[in-house]
Amino acid sequence: MSHDAAYWLRQIRSLHLTQRTRIMNVCGGHERSITMAGLRSVLPSTIELIPGPGCPVCVCPEEDVYQAIQLALQENIILVAFGDMLRVPVNVPKGEAHTLEQARAAGADIRPIASPQEAIALAHAVPDKHVVFFAAGFETTMAPVAAMVAAGMPENLSLLLSGRLTWPAVAMLLASDTPGFHGLVAPGHVSTVMGAQEWEFVPQHYHIPTAVAGFTAESLLAAFYSILRQLESGKVFLDNCYGTVVSNTGNHRAQEILQDVFSVTDANWRGVGIIPASGFTLQAAYRAHDARVLFAHTVDHTQRKRAGAMPPGCDCARVVLGRIYPNACRLYGRACTPRNPVGPCMVSEEGACRIWWSGGLRAPTAPTVSA
Shortest Å distance, C-beta 107 to other proteins: 28
Shortest Å distance, C-beta 46 to ligand SF4: 26
> Which residue, 183 or 326, has its beta carbon nearer to ligand SF4?
326
- CA pseudo-torsion sign 20, 25, 29, 31: positive
Q: Which of residues 274-333 bind ligand SF4 (CB under 6 A)?
A: 314-316, 319, 326, 329, 331-332
> Which residue, 270 or 354, has its beta carbon nearer to other proteins?
354
3-state secondary structure of 25: strand
Residues in the interface with ligand SF4 (CB under 6 A) total 14
- 336 forms part of the interface with ligand SF4 (CB under 6 A): yes
| Beta carbons within 8 Å of 144's beta carbon, 6+ residues apart | 115, 116
| Beta carbons within 8 Å of 166's beta carbon, 6+ residues apart | 26, 27, 53, 54, 138, 139, 187, 190
Shortest Å distance, C-beta 314 to ligand SF4: 3
Distance CA 19, CA 94 (A): 49
In 3D space, the residue among 6, 8, 7 whose CA is nearest the CA of residue 211 turns out to be: 8
Instruction: Report strand pairing: 273-282 vs 262-269.
Output: antiparallel
Neighbours of 300 (CB within 10 A): 9
Shortest Å distance, C-beta 350 to other proteins: 6
Shortest Å distance, C-beta 316 to ligand SF4: 4
Of 135, 353, 355, 369, which one interacts with ligand SF4 (CB under 6 A)?
Answer: 353
3-state secondary structure of 105: helix
Distance CA 186, CA 202 (A): 10
User: Phi and psi (nearest 5°) for 275?
Assistant: -115, 125
- 369 forms part of the interface with ligand SF4 (CB under 6 A): no
283 binds, among other proteins, ligand SF4, none (CB under 5 to 8 A by kind): none
Shortest Å distance, C-beta 317 to ligand SF4: 8
- 345 forms part of the interface with ligand SF4 (CB under 6 A): yes
290 binds, among ligand SF4, other proteins, none (CB under 5 to 8 A by kind): none
> Which residue, 32 or 182, has its beta carbon nearer to other proteins?
32
